[in-house]
Amino acid sequence: MGYPTEQLEELKRYCTKLKVVDEGGVTFPYLEELRLPSGCSPATCDALLCPVPRDGYPSRLFLSVQVSSPYSRNWNVTNARIAERNWFAFSWKVDLANPTLTQLLIAHLNGFAKNK
């Protein structure tokens, strides 16, 4: 599973380092120290972007910690094990037609900044 180089390059702006990791036939972009929207605590954390359907969602953003944010979220994934690490995710459905990886990331991060 590969992604267009320009889309991966674009993702680098949002984190300290961008990596990719394969598991179960899926290639996950791994964003080291992803910068979270203001009001979030912590301000950065590691993240895994899952651009393919999973757990009934068209895509998911997994975070290395359960983040506090201005609006309370339903953290329906706790300690999900992916690539030999434990991850967290809140319930947030992103429905975009053919998004780029960055569009997908921003749409997921909007889950912190928007009240539903």
Give the nearer residue to another protein in terms of CB position, either 3 or 37.
Answer: 3
Decide if residue 38 touches another protein (CB under 8 A).
Answer: no
Distances from the Cα of 77 to the Cα of 11, 19, 61, 97, 105, angstroms: 24, 22, 11, 25, 18
CB of 6 to another protein, least distance (A): 12
Decide if residue 53 touches another protein (CB under 8 A).
Answer: yes
Go through 7-40 and write b for each residue having 16 or more CB atoms within 10 A of its CB, e for each that does not.
beebbeebbeebeeeeeeeeebbbbebbbbbeeb
Contacts of another protein in 6-35 (CB under 8 A): 8-9, 12, 17-25, 30
Give the nearer residue to another protein in terms of CB position, either 4 or 39.
Answer: 4
Identify the residue among 47, 49, 50, 57 touching another protein (CB under 8 A). 57
CB of 57 to another protein, least distance (A): 8
Q: Which own/partner contact pairs does 41-44 have at CB distance under 8 Å and 24+ positions apart? A: 41/67, 41/68, 41/69, 42/67, 44/15, 44/16
Residue ranges in contact with another protein by CB under 8 A: 8-9, 12, 17-25, 30, 53-57, 76-77, 79-81, 83-84, 86
